[in-house]
Structure 1
Amino acid sequence: MEFVILASCFIIIGMVVLLRERRSFFGGMSVAFGSIFLTLTLLSLLLVQIGEVSNKGSFIVLMIVYLLFPVLFLGVSIFFIVNTHIMNTKEGRSVTAKLSALLGLNLLIVVPAFFYLITIGSGEIHLVLFSAILFLILSDLLISFFFICYLFYSWMYQMIPIKKQIDYIIVLGSGIKSEEVPPLLKSRLDKAIEYYVKNSSSKIVVSGGQGADEPVSEAFAMKKYLLSQQIPEEKILVEDASTTTYENMKFSKKIIFEDWKNDKENPKILFSTNNYHVLRGALYARKAQLKAEGVGAPTALYFLPTALIREYIALLMLYKKFTISMIFLCLLMVILSALPI
């Protein structure tokens, strides 16, 4: 019951924060952590209740714990590993394409190692070595668990519908190889057009500079595509200096407020990107002090795992205090476990 109360506290605290600012990383992760922790706690209590009912109930619990859970875990790990092969086939070999396989292999090694470690205890290994290995494994597991929390928060953020009138739609750029927009960027533009049709008085801001390996700026290619879709040129604003998501938001904000003619109220702004990128885009919009909500275009299933892992790593780098707090928590747990009872 104590765990249920603790999980509920995380949910309540997170909800209070999100009601004030739905783009709060702390609030979203708090709700996600509490929800997942509460679900696991209630599931554990349910299994205990089933096991106490009868011998048949005990058998069911044993099948779930020792067969179903391991099979699901193995299936997820193998999916991540196989996904890298699919990425290499469809997108070409790259370092980021290997992130999915690294996660799958990491899970296959670290999770069994953790259970083995807590089974043998520190009796068979020198205490310092045991503590060091335990610290590394706990840090790995906690970061992996918060990846699940991040996925939940990202999904939760996008589930809230946007029904208000929109004045400006920012389209975040992505890499191009020619003046034609690739499928990933096209999906972002199509999502923006979808909202433009619903808000005929709005304007679209194409945001993206020119990389060293790009023939033109991303904004140029995006504008060219929008014109081909019969979007009037006067409805398109160009921001072609940005090189990061933060700069997308910062520079687009400047262009929007230079174009905005209403002194009585602020413009209502939306940004369009792919679904895996919406949450980080929203957090960067907040950092740029731009009040804007995001919508996500669908992404091919094979591309999602690698993209989501990459987004999560970027957020861990952005919120260094959160990452350091996780590491410190693991260190504290190891120190407490090493203390004599």
Structure 2
Amino acid sequence: MPLILISCVFLFTGAVILLKERRSFLGGMILTFGGLSLSITLVLLGMEKISELSDSVSLVVLLIVYGFFPLLFFGICGYFIYNTRMMNTKEGRSATAKLSALLGINLTISVPAFIYLVVMGGNKIPYWLGAILIFILLCDLLFSFFFVCYLFYSWMYQMIPFTKKIDYIIVLGSGIRSEDVPPLLRSRLDKAIEYYHKNPEAKIVVSGGQGADEPVSEAFAMRKYLLSQNIPDEKILLEDQSTTTFENMTFSKNVILQDWQKKNHEPSIIFSTNNYHVLRGGLYARKAGLKAQGVGAPTALYFLPTALIREYIALLVLYKWFSIGIVLFSLFVIVISYLPI
């Protein structure tokens, strides 16, 4: 019962924060943390009650807990490891392509090690070493659990439909190798075109500068593609100075404010990016003071695990206080668990 109450408090607190500002990273993580914790608690309590019905039912529950759940867990870890091989085959070898394998290997080791230390480790290793290992593994597992929370928050953020009339559509740039847009960037442009056809009075802001290894600016390549798709030139606004997502939002905001003629009310703005990037884009939009909702273009399934892990790491760096809070909470748990009071 206490766990249910605590989970409900987290769930309610997160909901209140998000009702006030749906682009709140803290609110989203609190809401999903409470929701997942409540779901897990209810499932465990339900299985406990069901197992009390009869010996045969109890046996089924044991098979699920000690058979199906571990099999599912190691299956997911195996998929993460295999995904790196798919990434290397389709996208070429890179450091980021190894992220999914690192996550899979990490979970395969850390979860069994944590369970072993909590259940058996106290009598097998020195007291101080057990405390250090538990602290490290607890930090690891909390960061992993909040990655799952991030996945749910990212999905929830994109589920709210945008039905208002749109005045501007910002397309966030990504890397290019020629004047032709690559598939990833093309999907963002196609999503923008989809919304443009529903809002023919809207203007499209193509946002992206020229990197050191890029022949032209991303905005130039995007404008060229839009023209090839019969989007009128006067409907395209260029922002070709940005090099980061935050600059995309900041500089695009300036371009829109200079173009906007109806000063009696604010323009309605959306931004188009890939689905895995929508949440971080929305958080950067908020940071830039831009009131804009994101829409996500589909991404190849093999690319999603690595992309989502990379996005999560970027958010942990952006919200350093959140990462520090996880570490301090883990330290607090170790102190009250291992030190005599």
TM range (shorter): over 0.9
CA distance in 1, matches of 2:325, 2:108: 25
Q: Does 1:146 align with 2:149?
A: no
Shift of 1:186: 0.3
Shift of 1:329: 0.5
CA distance in 2, matches of 1:238, 1:25: 30
Q: Does 1:90 align with 2:98?
A: no
Output aligned runs, 1:151-190, within 5 Å. 151-190=151-190
Shift of 1:340: 3.5
Q: For 1:205, what is the secondary structure of its paired residue?
A: strand
CA deviations 1:43-89 (Å, max 9, x no partner) are 00111011111001110111011000000001000000000000000
CA distance in 2, matches of 1:6, 1:138: 19
- Return structure 1 stretches of 4+ with deviation > 2 angstroms: 121-124
Partner residue, 1:312: 312
Shift of 1:339: 2.6
Q: For 2:238, what is the secondary structure of its paired residue?
A: strand
Output aligned runs, 1:1-341, within 5 Å. 1-340=1-340
Shift of 1:107: 0.5
Shift of 1:4: 1.0
AA partner of residue 148 (structure 1)? V
CA deviations 1:143-188 (Å, max 9, x no partner) are 0000000000000000000000000000000011110000000000
CA distance in 2, matches of 1:90, 1:203: 35
Equivalenced residues, count: 341
Shift of 1:25: 0.5
AA partner of residue 20 (structure 1)? K
Shift of 1:122: 2.6
CA distance in 2, matches of 1:88, 1:225: 28
AA partner of residue 117 (structure 1)? L
**Which runs of 5 or more residues in structure 1 are unaligned?**
none
Which deviates more from structure 2 when the two are superposed, residues 121-130 or residues 318-327?
121-130
**Which runs of 5 or more residues in structure 2 are unaligned?**
none
Q: For 1:204, what is the secondary structure of its paired residue?
A: strand
Shift of 1:2: 1.2
CA deviations 1:193-248 (Å, max 9, x no partner) are 00000111100000001111111110000000000000000000000000000000
CA deviations 1:280-339 (Å, max 9, x no partner) are 000000000000000000000000000000000000000000110000000111111103
Q: For 2:110, what is the secondary structure of its paired residue?
A: helix
CA distance in 1, matches of 2:146, 2:231: 42
TM-score (normalised: structure 2): 0.99
CA distance in 1, matches of 2:193, 2:264: 27
CA distance in 2, matches of 1:135, 1:20: 35
Shift of 1:121: 3.5
CA distance in 2, matches of 1:188, 1:272: 6
Q: For 1:280, what is the secondary structure of its paired residue?
A: helix
Q: For 2:23, what is the secondary structure of its paired residue?
A: coil
CA deviations 1:90-141 (Å, max 9, x no partner) are 0000000000000000000000100110122433222221111111000000
Which deviates more from structure 2 when the two are superposed, residues 113-122 or residues 222-231?
113-122
Q: For 1:132, what is the secondary structure of its paired residue?
A: helix
AA partner of residue 279 (structure 2)? L
CA distance in 1, matches of 2:340, 2:291: 52
TM-score (normalised: structure 1): 0.99
CA distance in 1, matches of 2:167, 2:43: 46
